[in-house]
Amino acid sequence: MRVSFATAIEKAIEHAMAEDERIIIFGEDVHLLRNNLYARFGPERIIPAPISESAFLGAAVGVAMAGLKPIVEIMLVDFIAVAFDALLNQASKVKAFSGGKWNVPVVIRCSCGGGYGDAGQHEQCLWGLISSVPGISVVVPSNPPDAAGLMLSALNAEDPVVYLEHKLLSEYWLDYLGAGGRKNVAFDIPESGASGEIEIPPKNVAIGKASFLREGSDITFISIGVSVHRCLEASKALEREDASSCVLDLRTATPLDKESILEASRTGRVVVVDEDYLSFGLSGEIAAVLSESGYRGAFTRVGNTGVIPYARHLEDRALPSVDSIYEAAKKILGT
């Protein structure tokens, strides 16, 4: 069935919650954000929380350790900062510290990403920052089937998974935070990301498995989230100039699918496109993976180099765009 990105996630959760009574959801405003699940599974399993992220994210770790499967919601990933201890020092450490005898099956669901003029306290991606902590998986779906499939896998996982839902793909987030019902504001929403076909029940998508969206021999784009769609756009423009591009959608930031990255790099020209911060993040990690494997080809990256500004025109310049990707590609192609 054809569904929106957000509905795909909801279908996956609905299916999983019906099968497994241990799944509960808590977070701010979940009684309305997840009103359909609330109406079906009731106030015992969908639990609204006060604005106390450090307490309820910390609690989620304990809940998971003691036998339930929480989906804990941090509205915008930026807000995880106030609760970072739960992630950095608790959730990620239990398995190792217990000698592998105790694990934390928690799913942390957050919206992320920019493109609607809300500035750098509400539009960050932070998958790089979170991925830098060993012991956590971070998934970033770019279309409805992946959104559903990765949610199912996250709910089946034994260890903590941060599930990031890009706001340009999730219509309700974009409507709340960007449009507010207005028809006179425009957003660059990738069609094939915002809606698509899913199966019911949805099919699992393995965590840590990238997907080739396009095969090509001249240049490779490696990306994640909304930027994947920008890469696809750029590759169409390049095709008109007879350059064929390979586009790899990582889908999972960590663990990285190194095998697919290496396979994709065979064109000898790699462009990593990352909406997250350029420094100390995913793009540098991919460069390291390539370099350690003996890759000797060309490499460049497009990413966000500073704080995301508020004004739409400044924001457009800060986030990866089809134009900036195209420019980077032309440079590396030497044309």
Partner 1 sequence: MILLVGGRLGLVFFLHMSLHMAQRFCYLSSVKTISKGDHMQGERKEVQPEYLYRQMVRARRFEEALASLWRRGLISGELHLGTGEEAIAAGFAAHLEDGDAIALDHRSTPPLVCRGLPLEPIILELIGSEKGLCSGWGGHMHLFSRDFLAASSGIVGSSAPLALGFALANKHLRQGKVAVCFFGEGAMNQGMVLESLNLARVWKLPVIFVCKDNRWAITTRSKNVTAGCLTKRARAYDMPAWKVNGLRVDDVCKTAKRAIERAREGRGPSFVLARCSRIDGHFLGDPLFRIFEEPLEQVKTITPPLIRSAIAKPGAPSGARARALFCISKAIALAGADKLKNFKDPLFISKNLILEEKRLEIEREVFEEIEKAVRTSLEVAGLKR
Ligand X SMILES: Cc1ncc(C[n+]2csc(CCOP(=O)(O)OP(=O)(O)O)c2C)c(N)n1
**Is residue 117 near partner 1 by the rule CB under 8 A?**
yes
In whole angstroms, what is the distance from residue 266 CA to residue 101 CA? 41
**Is residue 176 near partner 1 by the rule CB under 8 A?**
yes
Q: Which C-beta is closer to partner 1: that of 36 or that of 335?
A: 36
* The one among 18, 51, 96, 288 contacting ligand X by CB under 6 A: 51
Contact between 142 and 228 under an 8 Å Cβ cutoff? The reply is yes
* The one among 59, 79, 239, 300 contacting ligand X by CB under 6 A: 79
**Is residue 99 near partner 1 by the rule CB under 8 A?**
no
Out of partner 1, ligand X, none, what residue 297 binds, judged by CB under 5 to 8 A for its kind, is: none
- Candidates 57-65, 74-82, 253-261, 286-294 — which segment interacts with ligand X by CB under 6 A? 74-82
In whole angstroms, what is the distance from residue 135 CA to residue 94 CA? 9
CA distances from 97 to 92, 102, 104, 307 (A): 9, 9, 12, 36
**Is residue 75 near ligand X by the rule CB under 6 A?**
yes
Q: Which C-beta is closer to partner 1: that of 31 or that of 258?
A: 31
CA distances from 168 to 123, 221, 283, 293 (A): 10, 20, 21, 35
**Is residue 33 near ligand X by the rule CB under 6 A?**
no
And the tokens for 45?
A: 């399993």
Q: Which C-beta is closer to partner 1: that of 52 or that of 293?
A: 52
**Is residue 288 near ligand X by the rule CB under 6 A?**
no
Out of partner 1, ligand X, none, what residue 314 binds, judged by CB under 5 to 8 A for its kind, is: partner 1
Paired strand residues for 221: 247, 271
Radius of gyration of the chain (CA): 19
Contact between 26 and 56 under an 8 Å Cβ cutoff? The reply is yes
Residue ranges in contact with ligand X by CB under 6 A: 28, 51, 53, 75, 79, 82
